[in-house]
Amino acid sequence: MKMFTGIGGLDKMLKGGIVQGRNILLSGPCGSGKSTLSMQFLYNGAMKYGEPGLYITLEETKEKFYADMSEFGMDLHEAEKTGRFTLIGGPIAGLRGYMDRVDASIKNLTEEIEEVVKEKKIKRVVIDSVNLLTMLSKDEDERRKALAMISNSLSSLGCTSFFISETKEGSMDLSRYGIEEFVVDGVIVLYLVRQRNKFIPGITVRKMRGTNHDKEIRYYQITNKGVEVYPQETVFTNIR
Ligand SMILES: Nc1ncnc2c1ncn2[C@@H]1O[C@H](COP(=O)(O)OP(=O)(O)OP(=O)(O)O)[C@@H](O)[C@H]1O
Ligand SMILES: [Mg+2]
């Protein structure tokens, strides 16, 4: 079964959405729309398809995040009231304090997330960003294990999840640490390609196990409705 992201152009690229229970890495440079796109996936899930969502973030405070998302027509206070949207995190609230605790470990974090998922019958999860997991890991090996543990746990609970990873400006990297893409089932990449005096946004489905999908880099835009993907428009680039 496939789950619509609710972003029309992206669902077209994915030939009907994301296979249920799969883990997707969403990577891109700063300001490319990673948080917005993944929040649209949760918001549409909650408000259009009746599927409860969980957003886990280390980076932003709840107030700022809700204000930013309201710019795109997403009322997260309202979504929260329906019981189909939950946010965990923010630098002060909870998570950061939790991460600083000596006994914080990937295992504990995974168990705490599992509890919320079961209690709220969560179907869609976003982790913004994978830094969250890497903070609890000493080296690459642990990082890979941490990502595998949490993604397997979410899959076995039937959740479809987005893991966000920030890439370097202008690079063709798929992820920050160069390991994330191997752990997940799918990779969606956002690019901002500089051409003269502007950055041209492009989105591509780099890998998606278990389904056919569009392989080209398509044009997208961030508008007051959030990320909009134009599945017919190719981005011509000369990046290496
Ligand atoms: N109302 C709006 N209309 C069009 N574009 C907007 C609007 N509001 C914000 N933006 C754009 O959206 C961008 C923010 O997108 P978002 O936060 O989802 O990106 P991100 O990839 O998560 O960034 P970061 O790496 O900083 O977390 C802003 O930098 C701005 O360019
Ligand atoms: Mg972000």
The confidence score (pLDDT) of residue 125 equals 98
Class for the domain spanning 2-234: alpha beta
Q: Tell whether omega for the bond before 129 is within 30 degrees of 0, i.e. cis.
A: yes
The confidence score (pLDDT) of residue 195 equals 86
Q: How far apart are CA 126 and CA 10, in angstroms?
A: 17
pLDDT confidence tier of residue 52, bands split at 50, 70 and 90: very high
CA of 183 to the centre of ligand 1 (A): 27
The confidence score (pLDDT) of residue 102 equals 52
Look at ligand 1, atom 11, and give the residue with the nearest C-alpha.
222
32 lines ligand 1 (CB under 6 A): yes
Q: What is the value of pTM for the model shown?
A: 0.94
Residue with token string 């249920």: 20
Buried b (16+ CB within 10 A) or exposed e, 151-165: bebbbebebbbbbbb
Mean pLDDT, the chain, as a whole number? 91
Number of residues that this document lists for the chain: 240
Tell me the ligand closest to 222's alpha carbon: 1
Q: To 10 degrees, what angle do helices 140-156 and 106-119 make? A: 20
Of the listed ranges 94-98, 103-107, 145-149, 191-195, the one predicted with least confidence: 94-98
**CB 205: neighbour CB atoms within 10 A?**
23
CA of 169 to the centre of ligand 1 (A): 15
34 lines ligand 1 (CB under 6 A): yes
Q: Which residues surround ligand 2, an ion (CB under 5 A)?
A: 35
Query: CA nearest 219: which of 201, 238, 197?
Result: 201
Return the ∠ at Cα 108 (arms to 60 and 98), rounded to 5°: 40
The confidence score (pLDDT) of residue 137 equals 84
The confidence score (pLDDT) of residue 238 equals 55
